[in-house]
Amino acid sequence: MQREHTVEVYLRKNIEKIGLEGEIIKVGDGFARNFLIPQGLAIEVTEHNKRQLAAKIRKVENRKEVIATATSMLADQISNLTVTLRRKMHDSGQLYGSINATELVDALAEKGIAISKGQVEFEKSIKSKGTFTAVIKLTSRLKPRMTVVVVSE
């Protein structure tokens, strides 16, 4: 059995389950030469370009800190929010439909917060008037909760 050699590559883009942009990782020689490098996803690390890449790695680490800080500030902003949605409902207080993620994304956009509907998680479906909690998944660790109040039109 022939043993595959590994090479160090500098990732130029985030690659799911492989690594983040700006990281230097070890991968199989074949994977690097046949996929990562031809696709423009990585650069092979050599003695010649190692110093040049080391400077970029420092910049990337700083950028990750900036992104983490901005994300945590957004999480604080979201956790302090209360969104009020006015909907038509039956006399019993039941909605004609249920509140969906798109409605919450639109309400947050009006307040200057841009998220996608895939980031919205409801603890239970909202089908009546009242006060509810929604979770906004910013990262795997940052999941601020916000209050959603549904009132009659």
Residue ranges of domains in the chain: 6-71, 75-152
Look at phi and psi of residue 6 and say left if phi exceeds 0, alpha if psi is from -120 to 50, else beta: beta
CA 52 to each of CA 26, 59, 87, 129, 137: distance values in angstroms, whole numbers, following the listed order: 18, 12, 58, 59, 36
> Once rounded to an integer, what is the mean pLDDT over residues 106-129?
89
pLDDT digits (tens, 9 = 90+) for 61-112: 777 777 778 888 888 888 889 999 999 989 888 998 889 999 999 999 998 8
**For tokens 């929010």, what's the residue?**
81
Buried b (16+ CB within 10 A) or exposed e, 119-151: bbebeeebbbbeebebebebeeebebebebebe
Domain 75-152 has CATH 3.10.430.100: yes
Contact present, 79 and 146 (Cβ < 8 Å): yes
Reported confidence tier of residue 2, pLDDT bands at 50, 70, 90: low
Domain 6-71 has CATH 3.90.400.10: no
